[in-house]
């Protein structure tokens, strides 16, 4: 994949050298299809009939499959599917976005406690960690190991995803800071150190995930934007940093909450004006939310999530291309083709079909 330098548009303010996706470049949001048998393996580990080493081997092999599905489809920038971050698909995807990282940070101590996460349904909750001490920036979050593992399995450029400071702070129980902004600031310092380690290891694509901005008030989101800018300070000439903004993808099917196709975090103002203050190279968003960015995007690229992960049907390439063409205001050079969120809750065949739809849409759009 060719990586382009920051383009110069009329009226845009000068920026540092910034890596860019090619025209209609394709990438996934992160998570790939989680196999049903992960659940069975997790139960076997819990009763001592399977070792954690065997579970880790299963995670590695599923990561290989996730990468292969992306390569076969022709995706430009790939991930490892975040498979090593989960042993099941309950409370998904946040168990891979939150618990995996909370467990690595000593400030989060003790057992988790249920925390409601949506106004839509009081019975939907997440097992939230409790912050009982200051968050230090010396913790290794495992991002470099992930980058090296995935890079050894593909010749494609590799993207590493990371949960943003707002979600890490907002869902947790805070018994130390008493101030979400202060907590996010310390999380940002931790992310900044880990992102530096990533770029030092050669990673050129980093993605930060924040799904709760619509629910939060403007002041809280502005504090989150400040924290994210602290976390990515100095990265623009080393890596393409993307922000994935969505409104939730908790639903995993009737065996958990029966709410597939539902956005949990869509109550409130959509804050594209504040989001565009983040000093990143691209924003990856749901296709029906893309219009919010027209007055604010400036030089940034926009990943149009034209493959809908909350629809169990596989779209055609023409359908995906049509959703992107609908953004008539968006320059070709600024357009990235992606999905609305991760594929974790979809069957592998559906996820693979949606990957193919993305690359077919790219071919159609370039042909036009």
Sheet holding 301-307, edge to edge: 25-26, 335-339, 301-307, 282-286, 240-245, 205-210, 159-163
pLDDT in tens, 10-61: 333 334 456 899 999 999 999 999 998 998 999 999 999 999 999 999 999 9
Average pLDDT score over residue span 223-233:
98
Average pLDDT score over residue span 172-201:
98
Please provide residue 283's backbone torsions phi and psi, each rounded to the nearest 5 degrees. Answer: -120, 135
pLDDT for the residue 249:
66
pLDDT for the residue 114:
87
61: Cβ–Cβ under 8 A, 6 or more apart, which residues? none
- CA–CA gap between residue 355 and residue 320 (Å, rounded): 11
Average pLDDT score over residue span 188-205:
98
pLDDT at 119 over 80: no
SS3 at position 295: coil
Average pLDDT score over residue span 357-363:
98
Q: How confident is the model at residue 77 (pLDDT cuts 50, 70, 90)?
A: very high
331-346 CB burial, b ≥16 within 10 A, e <16 = eeebbbbbbbbbbbbb
pLDDT at 328 over 70: yes
User: Could you tell me the two tokens for 230?
Assistant: 């602290």
User: Could you tell me the two tokens for 216?
Assistant: 């939060």
- CA–CA gap between residue 268 and residue 120 (Å, rounded): 12
pLDDT at 258 over 60: no
Give the CA angle between residues 305, 310, 316 to the nearest 5°: 60
pLDDT for the residue 202:
97
User: Could you tell me the two tokens for 136?
Assistant: 């230090």
354: Cβ–Cβ under 8 A, 6 or more apart, which residues? 307, 309, 314, 315, 339, 343, 346
Q: Do 176 and 130 form a contact (C-beta atoms < 8 A)? A: no
pLDDT for the residue 335:
98
Q: How confident is the model at residue 368 (pLDDT cuts 50, 70, 90)?
A: low
Over the chain, what is the mean pLDDT? 90
pLDDT in tens, 259-315: 444 566 777 899 999 999 999 999 999 999 999 999 999 999 999 999 999 888 999
Q: How confident is the model at residue 194 (pLDDT cuts 50, 70, 90)?
A: very high
User: Could you tell me the two tokens for 219?
Assistant: 């002041």
Fill in the DSSP letter of residue 120.
Answer: S
Q: Do 93 and 344 form a contact (C-beta atoms < 8 A)? A: yes
Helix orientation angle between 180-200 and 143-151, rounded to the nearest 10 degrees: 40
pLDDT for the residue 250:
55
- CA–CA gap between residue 259 and residue 251 (Å, rounded): 5
- CA–CA gap between residue 103 and residue 172 (Å, rounded): 12
The pTM score is 0.92
Map out the domains of the chain with their CATH numbers.
Answer: 25-35+66-367 (3.20.20.210)
């Amino acid at each position: 994949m060719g990586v382009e330098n920051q383009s110069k548009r009329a009226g845009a303010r000068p920026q540092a050298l910034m890596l860019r996706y090619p025209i209609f470049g394709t990438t996934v949001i992160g998570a790939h299809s989680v196999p049903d048998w992960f659940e069975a393996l997790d139960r076997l580990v819990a009763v001592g009939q399977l070792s954690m080493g065997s579970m880790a081997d299963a995670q590695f092999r599923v990561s290989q499959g996730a990468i292969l599905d992306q390569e076969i489809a022709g995706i430009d920038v790939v991930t490892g599917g975040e498979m090593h971050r989960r042993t099941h698909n309950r409370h998904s995807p946040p168990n891979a976005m939150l618990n995996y990282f909370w467990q690595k940070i000593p400030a989060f101590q003790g057992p988790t406690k249920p925390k409601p996460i949506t106004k839509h349904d009081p019975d939907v909750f997440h097992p939230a960690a409790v912050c009982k001490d200051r968050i230090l920036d010396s913790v290794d979050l495992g991002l470099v190991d992930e980058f090296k593992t995935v890079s050894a399995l593909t010749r494609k450029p590799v993207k590493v995803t990371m949960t943003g400071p707002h979600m890490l702070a907002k869902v947790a129980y805070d018994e130390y800071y008493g101030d979400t902004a202060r907590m996010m600031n310390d999380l940002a310092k931790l992310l900044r150190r880990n992102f530096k380690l990533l770029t030092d290891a050669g990673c050129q694509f980093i993605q930060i995930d924040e799904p709760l901005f619509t629910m939060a008030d403007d002041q809280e989101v502005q504090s989150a934007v400040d924290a994210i800018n602290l976390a990515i300070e100095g990265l623009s000439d080393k890596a393409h940093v993307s922000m994935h903004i969505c409104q939730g993808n908790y639903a995993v099917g009737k065996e958990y909450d029966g709410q597939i196709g539902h956005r949990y975090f869509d109550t409130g103002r959509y804050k594209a004006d504040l989001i565009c203050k983040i000093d990143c190279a691209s924003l990856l968003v749901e296709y029906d939310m893309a219009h919010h960015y027209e007055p604010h995007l400036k030089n940034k690229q926009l990943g149009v999530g034209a493959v809908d992960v909350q629809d169990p049907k596989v779209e055609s390439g023409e359908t995906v291309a049509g959703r992107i063409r609908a953004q008539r205001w968006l320059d070709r050079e600024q357009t990235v083709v992606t999905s609305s969120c991760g594929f974790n809750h979809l069957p592998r065949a559906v996820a693979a079909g949606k990957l193919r739809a993305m690359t077919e849409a790219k071919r159609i759009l370039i042909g036009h």
